[in-house]
Amino acid sequence: MVVVADVQPVIAVGHGRIKAMKKSSLVLLFFTPAVTAMQSLDDEALGQVTGEGIGATFEDVVLYSGDYGRPDDFQLRLRLTDESPLQADYLVFSELRFNKSGEQPGSVNGAGYFGSYTDPFVVADIRTLTEQHVVSSGPLAGQNRQQTALYTAFPAADLQQTERSFYHFSDTQLGVENEIVRYNTINLSRGDQEKYYNGLPVGFFDGNESNVNLGNLYAMDDSYASLQLAQQDRLDNAASKFDLHMRIDSLTTEADRNDANESFLSYVDVFGARLYGTEFYLWGHDNQGETLNSNPYSNNGGPVYADRGLALSLSLGLQADAIRLTTDADQSLASTLALNNVDVYIPFGSVDQPVTISTVKYDQFVRGQWAAGVREGVEKTQLRLEIAGLPQDVGQAPQGNIFIESMSFGDPNDEEVITGRQDIFLRDANGNIIETVPDVIHRAFVPKTVTYNEQVDLYNAANPNNQIPNIPNQNVVEIRGLEIQRLVITTQDL
């Protein structure tokens, strides 16, 4: 069944408002088996229902609010202390804007789409999860426990992260079985680099080498680009690219708002962002036989596990052209940190190692007297967020990767971030130098491949009939195989 409704909601928060989804189309898809009539289900039959849920697609999506202190601004104010309004500490969120990438916030063309009929936003889907862990005792001893979970997924939730390092991509093209042979027999002087690609060919950036044997560099680069393009085509069908802007103020007192020493503000800007591989499961957690000790600091040296609670398994994938943090009211370049071409995939929990939200009770230390070991003498109930250790009979926790192509700090023309000036030798597809660009600025945390390609783009713009190829980029940051072994966060009454 498909229900289509045009909506024009205005979300009121605090004393401002957000204009949301102007002239929007909200499409709901109810995923249920084909039936001739509605039928009531008893509790047993309802427990058997899985794979059904609600899918939604959104068109003309845009959120807009004016700058801080303007008539059309939006504010979400969190008072952090119990003092009077003028003396309390605050966190203030404002200037929330979410619009199609590259468009002016609040403009007619600023709206984008999110989800499609074949790849919608899914919520309230009921699914059954089976643990790899084998129960060791109790009624389910020797069995794999099953959990019934609520499932939510964003468009392109089934899309996997591609290899974003050309170095690693090309290094595995011959297969793992050939690695030992390949590294034992490599001889660059006789041209072995033609057989595979691992980094740029020797002498590529050297002006003394008028011609460099590129081997299969560009053939391999075409394969790499094709892999990335296939993923981008899928993402194009799932959602528009969006830009996000938000301002965050941290104030020690309302009265000292205009005192730079008593307040801190930051702007968060995300450009060209899209989600992929993002989904989460929610269920009631049943413990795996662990016992919670009331004192987490003296459990005979062993770990302390949450007994039961609300369980969550989440995976988050994000691509962004840039993420920019600015900490100056005038948004000056000198206060800006930018991460460019970001691809992040982070799994947070699994059915065997969920994020558990529960309450625990223990006697905590007196604030400021931790070293002396002075306790309050009264057990208090606290909120705990925990990822327990992975059961030994489960192979491995889900792993994630973080790729950042380059970083920039402050004003790009600031001598403090310029590492030097060096000639760039532009090469054609045959490895011949066709132009030398003198004294090109090189900056900290910007790979030379990025700097080279910037000059290639300038050359191609000036020579449309004599285009030369870009070289594949490398990343300044690569974090591979990220997994959470154990995590405990417990609130405390201070």
| Alpha carbons 88 and 90: distance in angstroms, whole number | 6
Query: Which range is least confidently modeled, 5-14, 174-183, 217-226?
Result: 5-14
- Model-wide pTM > 0.85: no
- pLDDT at position 302 is 40
Q: pLDDT at residue 217 above 80? A: yes
Nearest partner of 131 among 360, 303, 278, 289, judged by Cα: 289
424 conformational bin, left if phi > 0, alpha if psi -120 to 50, beta if neither: beta
Q: Which residues contact 270 (CB under 8 A, 6 or more apart)?
A: 242, 243, 244, 320, 322, 323, 324
Please answer whether residues 271 and 250 qualify as being in contact, where contact means their C-beta atoms are separated by less than 8 angstroms. no
| Alpha carbons 148 and 48: distance in angstroms, whole number | 10
Give CB contacts under 8 A, 24+ apart, made by 190-195: 191/215
What are the structural domain ranges in the chain? 44-181+194-289+303-416+476-491
> What is the DSSP secondary structure assignment for residue 142, as one 8-state letter?
T
Best-predicted range by mean pLDDT (113-117, 269-273, 390-394): 269-273
Q: pLDDT at residue 16 above 50? A: no
- pLDDT at position 168 is 83
Q: pLDDT at residue 433 above 90? A: yes
> What is the DSSP secondary structure assignment for residue 230, as one 8-state letter?
H
- pLDDT at position 169 is 84
Query: pLDDT tens digits, residue range 161-182?
Result: 999 988 888 776 654 444 444 4
Please answer whether residues 404 and 477 qualify as being in contact, where contact means their C-beta atoms are separated by less than 8 angstroms. yes
Structure confidence at residue 43 as a pLDDT band (50, 70, 90): low
Query: Which range is least confidently modeled, 95-99, 365-369, 447-451?
Result: 365-369
Cα maximum dimension of the chain: 81
Best-predicted range by mean pLDDT (267-281, 304-318, 470-484): 267-281
Q: Which residue has the tokens 């968060």?
A: 268
Instruction: Say how far residue 68 (Cα) sits from the centre of its chain.
Output: 27
Mean pLDDT score, 460-480? 93
| Alpha carbons 338 and 404: distance in angstroms, whole number | 10
- pLDDT at position 394 is 85
Structure confidence at residue 51 as a pLDDT band (50, 70, 90): low
- pLDDT at position 10 is 31
Indicate the average pLDDT of the chain. Answer: 78
Both tokens of 460, joined, read 């191609």
47 conformational bin, left if phi > 0, alpha if psi -120 to 50, beta if neither: alpha
Helical segments of 399-489, H only: 448-462
| Alpha carbons 228 and 172: distance in angstroms, whole number | 16
Q: pLDDT at residue 86 above 90? A: no
Altogether, the residues listed in the chain come to a count of 494
Helical segments of 4-92, H only: 43-47
Please answer whether residues 240 and 102 qualify as being in contact, where contact means their C-beta atoms are separated by less than 8 angstroms. no
Mean pLDDT score, 412-430? 91
Mean pLDDT score, 425-448? 94
Q: For 138, how many CA atoms within 13 A lie in the half-sphere containing its CB?
A: 12
Mean pLDDT score, 198-220? 84
- pLDDT at position 380 is 75
Q: Determine the residue type at 60.
A: D
Classify 97 as helix, strand or coil: strand
